Amino acid sequence: MKPLAVNPETEKKLFFHNYARLPIAVTHGEGVWLVGDDGTRYLDMIAGIGVNALGYGDRRLVEAISTQAAKLIHASNLFMMQPQFELAEKLLALSGLSKVFFANSGTEAIEAAIKMARKWAGRLGDTNKNEVLSLSNCFHGRTYGAMSLTAKPKYSGGFEPLLTGTGMIAFNDITDLEEKVSEKTAAVFIEVIQGEGGIHKISQPFIDRLKELREQYNFLIVADEIQAGCGRSGKFFSYSLLQADPDMVCLAKPLGGGLPLSAVIGNEKVADVLEYGNHGTTFGGNPVACAAGIAMIQAIEEDKLTEHAEEIGRFMHEELQKLAEKHPQILEIRQYGLMIGITVDKEAKGYVVKALQKQLLINATSINVIRLLPPLVISREEAQLCITLLDEILTEERAEKNG
């Protein structure tokens, strides 16, 4: 039998049309290089949407996964399992918080946090205290609760009715913050650095006011660290950049070293909010994913990858600034560790296609933002190569326009 052709035509036949996939099939990877089925090597500045912090083929990760897979792949949360315990202990030590819940994806961590926030607020005795707020331009996920917090037509259009008791505060707008929060507020969900929104950081005054209002109205601050967490921002948790002091933290994307794993970590306030049977998931905290998570965090610590992200990020910022001076297509550069957003004067999609032709993988978000989320292990030379290729693309584009 002929092997199935992995190409855009077959893709159209087999799948629902919810993904705009790049027209390449990939088979393996090495470091920051992703390899196509024809042997083409791509410099990967997307890293599985911020998942592959250690790049591809990290020996420690592969070994941890194989060893655990040979022992026990799944048993369910009817049992206690060593890898879950170890990873939980590690996350509590890193955050200084009190309790952990494991799930499988970012959106599930957000759902769990919404449920815990409402249960926590309900127990204070006011039945109206159930409002869950988020910030404009945010992204928290695709399931109903998370999507309702991410209420933008692009994500939620056609799926109404959404969850009630949600609301949105204008990003970094202190006046709007003061208007929106009240006694009815159970929780405010924040991304300290908005990822899908185009790499925008919350301001220090906004966070400071949010913390004051938390004192006044008694609500929870939930930090969505799904994209910015685990070292990418130059800190293990991006909330440390602003001393946001969250009550709950959601982690996912890189947490399982590429396997599906997410976590909600909470402080003393919410430590007892869940009772037996209130919440759960069959796969959550899968032992193989947790073993990968332990290896991933150990590698981040061993290789000092948070510091490395900070250093390489700063280098890329300087080099991109030089490109911006040369190329008027670049309007703005925002960089926090290895989360980089480049605002351009047109739809960013065109650059994704041009970059692909140069074996460079970049991502477009928020229409006119090029987003770079390279593996944290990227070297200075590889970062420089990315800059050189972007320079070529921007130069060629101007030559075409003028020619």
Ligand X SMILES: *Cc1c(COP(=O)(O)O)cnc(C)c1O
Residue 38 CB, shortest distance to ligand X, in Å, is: 29
Residue 110 CB, shortest distance to ligand X, in Å, is: 6
Name the 3-class secondary structure at 363. strand
Toward ligand X, which CB reaches closer, 283 or 315?
Answer: 283
219 neighbors 186 (Cβ within 8 angstroms): yes
Return contacts of 274-281, CB within 8 angstroms, 24+ apart. Answer: 274/101, 274/116, 274/119, 278/115, 278/119, 279/101, 279/112, 279/115, 279/116, 280/77, 281/77, 281/102, 281/103, 281/104, 281/108
- H/E stretch holding 402 reads helix 380-402
Strand partners, 102: 263
Distance between CA 177 and CA 193 in Å, rounded? Answer: 17
244 neighbors 190 (Cβ within 8 angstroms): yes
Residue 175 CB, shortest distance to ligand X, in Å, is: 25
Toward ligand X, which CB reaches closer, 224 or 382?
Answer: 224
Integer-rounded Cα Rg, in Å, for the chain is 22
Residue nearest to ligand X (CB): 106
Q: Which two tokens stand for residue 249?
A: 């933290």
Toward ligand X, which CB reaches closer, 34 or 222?
Answer: 222
Toward ligand X, which CB reaches closer, 118 or 253?
Answer: 253
Residue 195 CB, shortest distance to ligand X, in Å, is: 4
What single-letter DSSP state applies at residue 202?
Answer: P
Toward ligand X, which CB reaches closer, 29 or 254?
Answer: 254
Phi, psi of 45 (to 5 degrees): -100, 20
Residue 131 CB, shortest distance to ligand X, in Å, is: 20
Toward ligand X, which CB reaches closer, 227 or 267?
Answer: 227
Other CB atoms within a 10 A radius of the CB of residue 257 amount to: 28
Binding site for ligand X (CB under 6 A): 105-107, 139-141, 191, 195-196, 224, 226-227, 252-253
Residue 190 CB, shortest distance to ligand X, in Å, is: 10
Other CB atoms within a 10 A radius of the CB of residue 172 amount to: 17
Residue 113 CB, shortest distance to ligand X, in Å, is: 11
Toward ligand X, which CB reaches closer, 196 or 382?
Answer: 196
